[in-house]
Amino acid sequence: MSLSAPRILHATGRLLLSLAAVAALAVLFVALIALTDGAGSGWAAWGATLGAGAGLAIWQARRRSPRARLVTFLPVAVAAALTATVCIPTVPTTRQPPPALPFVATQHWSLATGSRVAVYHYPPANTGPRYPVPLVYLNGGPVRGISVLDHRFLRLLARRGYDVYAYEQAGGGRSDLLPMDQYSISRSVRDLGAFTDRLGKGKVDVLGFSSGGVVLTRALAEPSVAARLHRAVIADPGPMDGPTARITGPKGRTSARNLAPAMTGPRSTHLPRYAVAFGLMRLGLLTPETGLIGQAEGGNAFRAADLGSDTASAYCARDAHRIPVEDTARNFSFSAAASLRVQQTIKDSPSIVPRLKQSRTPALLMIAECSSQVRRWATEILAHAPAVRRTHVMPGVGHHMWNGLDDNDDRAAAVITAFLQNKPAPLANRPTRDEIPSFLRDHT
């Protein structure tokens, strides 16, 4: 062994110890972020971490030479610089709503609930028959802007004679934000009732997709809101209440999750601040009301690529390599914190089954063949809502049933319009209530 080898080993050991110290301080910082719920944009956790690191460095340096003391403080300085990046915003902290869409005007309606929502209107085509009852669309999210892909489907329905209205739920898209503690599933249901009142055209048909289907299902169980509804179309819903949210079980045929190429484009989660914030929120270690990032900043930061494999899970495995672009970067809007808040209020809610059994609003239930949703989320509605008159398993599509691929939009529109007009269905009525057990066993 050469004379310099001991020095190399010594230097390597000191480097590893320094890196370990930096890592330990970073772990402590993240733990304190969780314990303090990100207070003061994370600076409270940063100050405590810096104080702990400096105190330990002082204790270790008390008997060392001045030069060695400086080396002892180096890991603290590095850790302080790294963790400070979690505390510094890199996007505007005030609301930056998406710009206006080029193909439809954005209106803003103030509802009796206090919500101010962005509204889009697609009048019926000038030619052909017109359906007299307005159709209202509730998009998924739950606190997310309406995608361009959905706007295209709404225009298709308008071309088929429907007077189509859509609004982005409070906090989503171009709608105004609410205080974080006001987001709830019950608020979303009240907003639906207030929207139909503001529309002022009597009873309306409602198409609710995904979490929008949850809002619609719960509206059917609220007599004051259900009285405003003519017919309801519930498309691949999430869990309707706390007991349903705790259900596990079979899903549909294989989706494109883990099969599709990774989404491209910028990700907020590649930045330390938002990787920590959204990651801890998803783990339940930060509340939606966290002081780490505000609601507006979180909405400004979140990008479509941050959804990761969630988008692919909305398509069948066979479509893994041709998943369409659902939205534009300028139109995309998603509030992770507000969405988690709404979802938590669903999980915390008691069963709505007793009230749902009293519903008399005619309803259609649409289930995607390749849905990534738990099948019992839909069949629980079928089992307990006697007003569900038709159930259709939509063949060859995933959770996002109208997706611009092949003739999927036309087939979804045919099913919806046949029900709304009380005409013969283009698909078999299955599963029936009696067929629910076999349907769940077959996974089809």
Return the HEC string of 20-61.
Answer: HHHHHHHHHHHHHHHHHCCHHHHHHHHHHHHHHHHHHHHHHH
Amino acid in position 132:
P
**What CATH number is attached to the domain comprising 135?**
3.40.50.1820
**Do residue 31 and residue 161 come from a single domain?**
no
Q: Give the sign of the dihedral formed by CA 241, CA 184, CA 169, CA 231.
A: positive
Q: Mark which of 19, 53, 84 sits at the end of a domain.
A: 84
Do 346 and 205 belong to one domain? yes
Domain match, 410 and 366 both:
yes
Residue 107 · residue 121 · CB < 8 Å: yes
Domain-located, residue 205? yes
Helix (H) or strand (E) holding 97: none
Q: Is residue 290 part of a domain?
A: no
Does residue 145 share a domain with residue 223?
Answer: yes
- Which residues constitute the domain of residue 33? 5-84
Measured distance CA(169)–CA(180) in Å, rounded: 14
The encoded tokens of residue 205 equal 């048909």
The answer to whether residues 131 and 213 belong to one domain is yes
pLDDT at 261: 92
User: What is the per-residue pLDDT for 72?
Assistant: 78
Closest to 73 in 3D by CA, of 92, 105, 50, 95: 50
Domain end point (choices 51, 69, 84): 84
Same domain, 367 and 402: yes
In a domain, 146, yes or no: yes
- Of 246, 421, 278, 444, the C-alpha closest to 349 is 246
Q: Would you give the distance in Å from CA 411 to the centre of its chain?
A: 26
Are residues 333 and 366 part of one domain? yes
Q: What are phi and psi of 392, to 5 degrees?
A: -125, 130
Q: Which residues of the chain have pLDDT under 50?
A: 1, 3
**Structural domains in the chain (count):** 2
244 and 143 assigned to the same domain: yes
Whether 321 and 434 map to the same domain: the answer is yes
Angle of CA points 30, 307, 302, to nearest 5° = 65
The beta strands (E) that lie in 88-172 are given as 107-110, 116-122, 135-138, 164-168
Handedness of CA 40, 45, 46, 51 (dihedral sign): positive
Are 252 and 2 within 8 A, CB to CB?
Answer: no
Residues 114, 150 within the same domain: yes
Does residue 172 sit within a domain?
Answer: yes
353 belongs to a structural domain: yes
Tokens of 112: 């009796």
Domain boundary among the residues 17, 51, 84 is at: 84
* pLDDT score, position 25: 93
Within a domain: 91: no
Collapsing DSSP to helix, strand or coil, 168 comes out as strand
Mark whether 147 and 191 lie in a shared domain: yes
Q: Specify whether 55 is located in the same domain as 172.
A: no
Assigned domain for 275 exists: no
Asked if residue 134 is part of any domain, the answer here is: yes
